[in-house]
Structure 1
Amino acid sequence: MTVNRICLIEDDEIMGEAVSDRFGLEGFDCTWFKTGEAARQSLQQDQYSVVISDIKLPDIDGEQLFEELRAAGTELPPYIFMTGYGAIDRAVRLLKLGAQDYLTKPVDIRALIDMVHNIFAKAGRGSEHASGEPGLGLSSAMRHIESVLPKLAFDNITVLITGESGVGKEVVARALHRLRDPDWRLPFVTVNCAAITDTLLEAEMFGYVKGAYTGAVRDKKGYFEQANGGTLFLDEIGEMPLSMQVKLLRVIQERKVMRVGSEALIPIEINLVCATNKVLKKMVEAGEFREDLYYRINVLELQIPPLRERKEDILWLASQMLDAEAKQHGSHRRELSPEAEQSLLDNPWKGNIRELKSCLERACILSSQAVLTPDILFGHGAQAKPEAATSLTDYLGSYERHYIEQTLKGKEGRIADSAAALGISRKTLWEKMKKLGISEEK
């Protein structure tokens, strides 16, 4: 494959010129096509490192072009789609069919450049293209984090992961470690700084020697030594007392630890990842967190949004959790009713992913039904929340629209199959879609 060669399929003159010019500045060889058919001929004859395609094209739908090329046996490089907000469901479906990624319009050029750099970096390391669903989520926020991680994998810099409790900070830390150590041969040590009492924190962190204090009957390695060669994940670092922060700063700077009761310095080589649900900058201003330590651990910050701000991830995560639950208990996989799916999307999830997991686990334990409903998920009397309605007609219409949309989504937009599943004719389905304002893209 020709290195750093890009196929851009975009009919908008302004967008196409802006993207192709930016790729030129980045040193990439970009060939710009304004129609799908022109791109088809080139993709069947030439070799590219990546394809970036709009879904809306003047002559052929971008999704149709992608599927026809795959059906024809054309060897395709990583494929990135650009889509309007209303077509996100289509882009997610394409990810499952083998597309690499997607961006919503207006496109963030910097994010697009990051995606392309990430693809080229993987190709340069000889890694296989891992098509299909992403590891951290479907939302643009989580896919951006996923695109950044490979750049950090081989740089020994301290990473700070921030976000509310339960958003998945340790999951991101483990994903970073996995890139550094795909076979998990090196240690990954997790420390909850809030779970260790102040009096034991130093001994647990740095270790101790026999006789250092009452009860120290043998030498013991601390967390830093246990993580030597691998990754040390310090969760809830904002809870660490000031007296310990200065000692932690010294270890990070010198890359050496001294066990309690010893005078010998032990060199360590670790990748340090810290996490907190607090705003450390405000804690620094309030004198609750050392400023020098803050700048030492905040070399690069990855901020994870709460689940309520990345709704694309909710049903994706729920599906994974239901798969895991069935596998763990050796039972049939539970399904979510359309109303249950909507209720999950409507819930604020103040506890984020942790709360979602608890909700689904509880429902699977308490229910003997194959299909989970809102009352099973949230208790008796719970129900899916329809869009704001001013009349009974509007209220019923909102449910009807949601049910049709979910059926279309399950049948990947195929009208005939969706109509059969709904028990109505194709003509009736078309009429209902028009009346309820449902786009074919659903």
Structure 2
Amino acid sequence: MNAAVRVCLVEDDPIMGESLCERFRLEGFDAHWCTSGAEAMRSLREQAFDVVISDMRLGDTTGEAIFDWAAGALPQAPPFVFITGYGTVDQAVALIKRGACDYVTKPFDLDALVARVLEIASAARAQDEGVPGLEPLGVSAAMQRIEAMLPRLARAASTVLIVGESGVGKERVAQRLHACLPDAARRPFVALNCGAVPETLLEPELFGHEKGAFTGAARSRAGVFEQAHGGTLFLDEIGEMTLAMQVRLLRAVQERQVVRVGGERPIPVDLLLVCATHRDLKAMVAEGTFREDLFYRVNVVQIRVPPLRERREDIPWLIRRFLSDIARQSGEARRHLTPAAEEAALAYPWPGNVRELKHAVERACIMSPAEWITPAALFPDAELPPPAGDVQAPLGDYLRECECRYIRGALESCDGHIGRTAELLGISRKNLWEKMKKLDIGHA
């Protein structure tokens, strides 16, 4: 790593903070020490850091509150590592499930912490070197497992098959895989939806054509195989191809060369081929609608992207990012979901997966003028289902969690300003302070 790793250390204990900061600087890190949650949030808003190391318990807030704030307020939150005592280990483990990178328990091995932070920063930079601004795939364990295997596939694989229902984000996985290639920013990424191109036009789209090859071919044109030479070719919905077209694709996959329509000269292509489908190709082979030899050629390495209903942890994370994107593109204030709307989103099965979720959030922002998006705005045409799963907590605990999330959302929308937050909630400052203390909510 050429540039020094930038670490934001959040620790209110002066002895511990000074010791950690000094050690990281001696190791060559660019360490910035924040003695409070408020200072950390200001620093994270103003500067870019590779890793955040935060104590779980701070004088004015908690590490969890900073983590939640960063996830919603920053375009891309840096990786978090938490320092925790015995009493907050369960809380730290829960944060890992929500997307935090790691935690260390007191007393901890400082050498191991330094090595772990360097490992996390190196992995984050390696992912970001490919396509600038490309976000993580998700915070669920399933999506993190996929993301963890992609660098290895980029180094070793030449053909990858991505399977999953429509709308799960197969192309985003392909883009992230491409981003793991060396010098990915200078390599082409070319995508083609085979199911959206008429059969008569699919062959020239794939392999190109020479001038005069057919009516309307006024000039020679390279197909997507040639366009992707040196980079990645993403062929979506290959299960929609006819058997005749599958034969032509098989030759290109086997020989890594193409012949343009109307041409005779074979053109070598060197690329990473990523195919995708929502169909069961093995069942299609049994039915005789997909060639067995092509199936084994493209199914060298298979990645299954689970549907959204199997990774519900990603739903709030995706919604926050969609809302941030909409605010950035429109120039308007960022919208927020009420706790009830978030519960409804978690309970809904999302048959259209991430695509349906994104459209629902966009529609709610367009149709609802309010800052807070309600369940009715998110699901205007549907009868809202009850929360999924059996009731596993007393009503008081559930209501406490809803109130906690609602107040945190209000604090975030008011940049942590107590007076404005109290006014937004329609309660007094004293009442707000009492609720925050009761619910263990810090502020910026």
| Contact map agreement 1:375 1:382 (CA 8 A) in 2 | no
Shift of the 388–264 alpha-carbon distance from structure 1 to 2, 3 Å rule, reads closer
Q: Distance in 1 between matches of 2:324 and 2:124?
A: 31
Contact 2:150–2:177, Cα closer than 8 Å, also in 1:
yes
Where does residue 274 of structure 1 map in the other structure? 275
Could you tell me which residue of structure 1 aligns to residue 95 of structure 2? 90
1:322 equivalent to 2:323? Answer: yes
Q: Which amino acid aligns with 2:270?
A: E
User: Relative to structure 1, is the Cα distance of residues 250 and 118 closer, same or farther in structure 2, using a 3 angstrom cutoff?
Assistant: farther
Counterpart residue identity of residue 261, structure 1:
G
Gaps of 5+ in 2: 2-15, 29-53, 64-78, 104-115, 413-417
CA contact 2:127–2:179 (8 Å) conserved in 1: no
**Match of 1:254?**
255
- Provide the residue aligned with 1:284 in structure 2: 285
Report the CA distance between 1:45 and its aligned residue: 12
1:243 positional shift: 0.8
Pair 194,387 (structure 1): closer, same or farther in 2 beyond 3 Å: closer
Give the distance between the partners of 2:310 and 2:154, measured in 1 at CA.
27
Alignment of 1:12-31 (within 5 A): none
**Distance in structure 2 (CA, Å) of the matches to 1:224 and 1:47:** 47
**Once superposed, what is the RMSD of the aligned Cα atoms?**
4.5
Change (3 A) 1:360 1:259: same
Amino acid at match of 2:215: T
Higher relative contact order (Cα pairs below 8 Å, separated by 6+ residues) = 2
For the residue of structure 2 that corresponds to 1:161, the secondary structure is strand
**Residue range with higher mean Cα deviation, 149-158 or 290-299:** 149-158
AA aligned to 2:353 is N
Q: CA deviation at 1:140?
A: 0.3
Question: Which residue of structure 2 lines up, in the alignment, with residue 8 of structure 1?
Answer: none
| Aligned residue identity for 1:252 | V
- Residue 136 of structure 2 aligns with an amino acid whose one-letter code is G
| 1:411-442 deviation line (CA, Å, top 9, x unaligned) | 89xxxx9xx989769999999x8xxxx9xxxx
Aligned residue in 2 for 1:193: 194
| Cα distance change on mapping 1:353 and 1:122 into 2, 3 Å | closer
Could you tell me whether the CA contact under 8 Å between 1:386 and 1:398 is conserved in 2? no
Secondary structure in 2 matching 1:221: coil
Letter in 1 for 2:305: I
Deviates more, 1:299-308 or 1:282-291: 282-291
- What residue is the counterpart of 2:361 in the other structure? 360
Whether the 8 Å contact between 1:374 and 1:382 is mirrored in structure 2 is no
Hey, what does 2:31 align to over in structure 1? none
Distance 1:208 1:301, change over 3 A: same
* Residue 370 (structure 2) pairs with residue 369 (structure 1): yes
The 1-side partners of 2:98 and 2:307 are apart by: 23
* Corresponding residue for residue 207 of structure 2: 206
The 1:401–1:199 alpha-carbon spacing in structure 2 relative to 1, beyond 3 Å, is same
Residue 399 of structure 2: aligned partner: 400
Give the CA deviation at 1:283: 1.2
Which whole-Å deviations, capped at 9, do the CAs of 1:6-34 have from their partners, x for residues lacking one?
xxxxxxxxxxxxxxxxxxxxxxxxxxxxx
Q: In the aligned structure 2, how far is the partner of 1:200 from the partner of 1:94?
A: 44
CA distance in structure 1 between the aligned counterparts of 2:286 and 2:90, rounded to whole angstroms: 39
- 1:322-343 Cα offsets, whole Å, 9 max, x none, are 1111111221111111111111
Quote how far apart the aligned CAs of 1:307 are.
Answer: 0.5
Q: One-letter code of the match for 2:259?
A: M
8 Å Cα contact 2:99-2:140 kept in structure 1: no
Helix, strand or coil: the match of 2:185? coil
Structure 1 distance, partners of 2:94, 2:220, is: 57
Distance 1:249 1:118 in 2: 41
The more displaced of 293-302 and 162-171 is: 293-302
CA contact (8 A) 2:340 2:374 kept: yes
Is the CA contact 2:347–2:388 (under 8 Å) kept in the aligned structure 1?
Answer: no
TM-score, with normalisation over the residues of structure 2?
Answer: 0.66
Contact kept? 1:257, 1:268, Cα under 8 Å: yes
Q: Which runs of 5+ in 1 are unaligned?
A: 2-35, 49-60, 68-77, 96-100, 104-114
Provide the secondary structure at the position in 1 that maps to 2:275.
strand
Per-residue CA deviations over 1:204-243 (Å, capped at 9, x if unaligned) read 1111111212222211111111111111000001111111
Residue 29 (structure 1) aligns with: none
- How far 1:406 sits from its partner (Å)? 2.2
Aligned to 1:240: 241
Give per-residue Cα distances to partners, 1:345-364, cap 9 Å, x unaligned: 11100000000011011111
Q: Shift of residue 184 of structure 1?
A: 2.5
Deviations 1:270-309 (A, max 9, x none): 1111111111111112211111111111111111110011
Supply the distance in 1 between the matched residues of 2:285 and 2:256 (Cα, whole angstroms). Answer: 24
Distance 2:296 2:155 in 1: 21
| Shift in alpha-carbon separation, 1:219–1:118, aligned structure 2, 3 A | farther
AA matched with 2:368: S
Question: 1:209 touches 1:216 (CA, 8 Å); kept in 2?
Answer: yes
Query: TM-score under structure 1 normalisation?
Result: 0.66
Q: Which range moved further: 282-291 or 167-176?
A: 282-291
C-alpha distance in 2 between matches for 1:117 and 1:282: 46
Mapped partners of 1:120, 1:94: distance in 2? 15
**What is the match of residue 150 of structure 2?**
149
Please report how far the alpha carbon of residue 408 of structure 1 lies from its aligned counterpart in structure 2 after TM superposition: 7.7
User: Secondary structure, in 3 states, of the residue corresponding to 1:273?
Assistant: strand
Distance (Å, rounded) in 2 between the aligned partners of 1:404 and 1:124: 37
Match of 1:219 in 2: 220
Query: Percent identity of the aligned residues?
Result: 46
CA gap 1:286/1:339 in 2 versus in 1, 3 angstroms: same
Separation in 2, partners of 1:215, 1:356: 41
Number of aligned residues: 354
Residue 404 (structure 1) shift: 3.3
Task: Please list, as runs of the form range in 1=range in 2, the aligned pairs for 1:284-323 lying within 5 A after superposition.
Answer: 284-323=285-324
CA separation of 1:280 and 1:94: change in aligned 2, threshold 3 A: closer
Q: Secondary structure at the match of 1:245?
A: helix
Alignment of 1:24-39 (within 5 A): none
Alignment-derived partner of residue 348 in structure 2: 347
| 2:169 maps to amino acid | G
